[in-house]
Structure 1
Amino acid sequence: MAGSLKYKVHYQHPDGRKVGDVMPFYNSGVYHIFYLLNGSGHDDINHEHAFSSDLIHWTTVAPSITHEDNCAFTGSYLKTSDGLFHCFFTRWNPDNVLGRETIGHAVSTNLIDWKKSNLHLVPDGTIYSDAQYRDFRDPCVFFDNTDKYFHMLLLANPKNKKNNEKSWDENWIQGHYRSKNLVDWEHLFPIPGNFADECPDYIYHSGHHYIHGCHRYAIGETQWGPYHTEEDFVLDKGLRAAKTCHVGDRIMWFGGFIDGSITLAREVVFLPSGRLGLCLAAEMYVASNKLISESIDKNKTILIDKDKAQRIAISSLN
């Protein structure tokens, strides 16, 4: 057997900067990946944007959300029944006396051109800390068909959080808001459970509720908790801040590797035990084999190692 050949199938921003948090969205046959770019610290970070119809060939376009005075951090994207697209994102500025983190909102008709609204959601100071150096970020917004509300999950602190600039992980709690119109938001009590994490992502499947975070996921006894997690409730230790998007009945999962590229698309698998798993998206096998067959001697047999969902290693046989 010949040596393993490497082929570039992972998207990375053209300027080579490292991919940070990933916010996927699927619409009308097209995958949109909104993501942060690391490499410049906590300054000048936007929501970068690339899209693809086959998960292999990506088109890079202008950022969807641009920073105002420091950076635009993680959020989420959704489409409402009127056909409009919405983004809720984190405004981050440690010099803002109203708080280093507030929640912003933008609207689009085409996922390319975005207009920010006047929303500056801040914590109430009664349930959630309103200290200047609080945590109040990473909004995950979704519509719940049961109560007909939009719900927002975000990382927050209890009201007694100390005003310490260096404290990024002091008493995290899972913040919870709801709204009928995406404009007026009602603060609710935090979702119970010792599981709060950055970049929350709500997942529902066949009566089971999950909140996937930056490091691990948690399983809920009910939709609004309590939730519990274990040390091994981890889908991939090689990356952080992955998120999901719905493609029909499937739930697709995207993240960013620590070394700078976006992962191959995975699909969330719901195991009989109630836990979560991952498999490489079926489209990746088809698309990758097509791309590889166009690039390597067609007299060779191309094998893709399906057990390695993070990286594709291509072996050629004479």
Structure 2
Amino acid sequence: MSEFFYRPDNAWVGDVIPYYEDGEFKLFYLHGWRGNYREGFVNGWYLLGTNDFCDYKEYGPCKIEGGTGHILKVDGLYHMFYCIFPKGKQLVSHATSHDLIHWKKDPDATFAADDNIYELSDWRDPFVFWNEDEQQYWMVLTARVKGATERKGCTGLLTSNDLKSWEYQEPLYAPNIHVGAHECPDLFQMGEWWYLIYSAYTDRFGTFYRMSKSPNGPWITPKEDTFDGRAFYAAKSVSDGEKRYLFGWNPTKNEDIFGWNSIKHLGKDYHTWDWGGNLIVHEILQRADGTLAVKVPDTVDQAFAIEKKLNFASVLGEWDIKNSERIYCESPYSFSSVLSNEDLPKQCKISMELSFTEETQGIGLLLRAQSSLVNTYIIRLEPKRNRITFRSDIMQSEEGGKTFPYEVELERPIDLIPTQPYEVKVFIDDTMCEIYVDQTIAMSVRMYDINEGKFGLFVSQGTALIKNTKIHTIDG
């Protein structure tokens, strides 16, 4: 079985630099061999092409050794802005191309941060666009502003009239929140709103966004300011003229490249996250109030088209089961569950519509479940806390309870209203799992230590109504 969510042979996808032209998404990305600690930078930029996020054409290496950046086209010539790291320094570089494959570097265009405004230690990930209002090019980039404390993470700003000479400006966004720099910035307009996207790994870990009526700010932080959870990072976006998509990576737990894993091996689900993984694409939606949401791209959703037979039997509690079209349970004082008769395919899509009553403490899905209901992965909606969580089997065991210093493994905030139906879609691809709820939020996870088991549903201290539960695969 080949992986559905793309990664190159014997390597991994790092930061993605998306560009769209002539019906094809041109996805430049940092190709992570993991042969050393340099996180793929030594091997530099590779290029993919796709028009559906399901099938990819590999164009191969671009012979650019460096970190994240941006592509734009001006007067028939492609410009690549990227970062390099000579002898520990961080510099912005420039190259040009006529075909997006062969690039000519401009050694005279390399420059560092301005020591009067910015720290020299962080200066990377340039994003360049033509600002129509200002009638000049803007470059926003990963930086740290000079300051009295270490909370210096910011989005730097430079301006130019010709893409060659750049003037240093005060930061576009410097909220004094993150110690680390704001990585992989992205700036775009949808309707009357401007959006600034960046990723950060201090204070919180994720890809964030801010919104403003002007590219000059002020930048508003929405109630929910991330697109996904901990297992989705360095995301940048591009539009095809109609829809806008967000490209990030779901990290692995294979290498321990940061040296955080415990000496006592308790399974990969205990391990820390690596740099790089598999390519993940979310479609960005704009709500009426200007805030953003994400959903699975239609082409990815439709790729899982073959419905599998699905039958359930009660394990705990009394359930009213009418095939998979309607499953109902009243369990006001306890945990109740059903399990499928068939094992869950290693590559599949699960979909359903679920609702719950006001007193309900938890409702959700069991993945690769065993009859003990302990060795299982759990996707749990918690109405009392307005969140969705993911737990592996270690959180159900005594060993996990003794060793984990926090309550859950992954979680995402979501408003959960009693009796309102919620559409849940879960995409499983071997160790990967992508969860979407109601075209509102996404949560990326990994599942390593349990390789097979049943599919289940549960309700904890409440009432559940689950409709149209289906499993689809790509192949028969």
TM-score, normalised via structure 2 length: 0.54
What do the CA deviations read for 1:205-225 (whole angstroms, capped 9, x no partner)? 111111111121112353112
Q: Could you tell me which of 231, 238, 249 is aligned with 1:256?
A: 249
Pick closer, same or farther for the CA change 1:193–1:274 going to 2, 3 Å: farther
How far off is 1:314 after superposition?
A: 4.9
Q: Could you tell me which of 228, 247, 266 is aligned with 2:240?
A: 247
Counterpart check, 1:125 vs 2:115: yes
Conserved in 2, the CA contact under 8 Å of 1:45 and 1:73? Answer: no
Which SS does the other structure have where 1:44 is aligned?
helix
Match of 2:54 in 1: 56
Which SS does the other structure have where 2:82 is aligned?
strand
How far off is 1:193 after superposition?
A: 4.3
Conserved in 2, the CA contact under 8 Å of 1:154 and 1:174? Answer: yes
Conserved in 2, the CA contact under 8 Å of 1:174 and 1:190? Answer: yes
Conserved in 2, the CA contact under 8 Å of 1:193 and 1:226? Answer: no
Greater percentage in strand? 2
Counterpart check, 1:89 vs 2:70: no
TM-score, normalised via structure 1 length: 0.79
What do the CA deviations read for 1:240-280 (whole angstroms, capped 9, x no partner)? 001111201321111111122101x3221111232111122
How far off is 1:161 after superposition?
A: 8.4
Match of 1:140 in 2: 127
How far off is 1:170 after superposition?
A: 5.3
- For 1:65 and 1:127, the matched residues in 2 are separated by 33
Counterpart check, 1:13 vs 2:8: yes
Match of 1:66 in 2: 64
Q: Could you tell me which of 23, 26, 37 is aligned with 1:41?
A: 37
Conserved in 1, the CA contact under 8 Å of 2:123 and 2:143? Answer: yes
Which SS does the other structure have where 1:150 is aligned?
strand
Q: Could you tell me which of 202, 205, 211 is aligned with 2:187?
A: 202
Aligned residues: 284
Match of 2:158 in 1: 177
Q: Could you tell me which of 56, 67, 73 is aligned with 1:79?
A: 73
Structure with greater Cα Rg = 2
Q: Could you tell me which of 196, 201, 204 is aligned with 1:211?
A: 196
Superposed, which structure 2 residues align to 1:148-159 within 5 Å? Answer: 148-159=135-146
Counterpart check, 1:268 vs 2:284: yes
Which SS does the other structure have where 2:425 is aligned?
coil
Which SS does the other structure have where 2:294 is aligned?
strand
How far off is 1:109 after superposition?
A: 1.0
Structure 1, unmatched stretches of 5+, are 1-5, 163-168, 297-301
Q: Could you tell me which of 18, 23, 31 is aligned with 1:24?
A: 18
Coordinate RMSD, CA, aligned:
2.9
Conserved in 2, the CA contact under 8 Å of 1:242 and 1:254? Answer: yes
Percentage identity across paired residues of the two chains = 26
Match of 1:299 in 2: none
Match of 1:166 in 2: none
Higher RCO, 1 vs 2 (CA within 8 Å, ≥6 residues apart):
1
- For 1:208 and 1:197, the matched residues in 2 are separated by 21
- For 2:163 and 2:225, the matched residues in 1 are separated by 32
Which SS does the other structure have where 1:157 is aligned?
strand
Which SS does the other structure have where 1:262 is aligned?
strand
What do the CA deviations read for 1:189-209 (whole angstroms, capped 9, x no partner)? 112441662111112111111
How far off is 1:45 after superposition?
A: 3.5
How far off is 1:37 after superposition?
A: 3.0
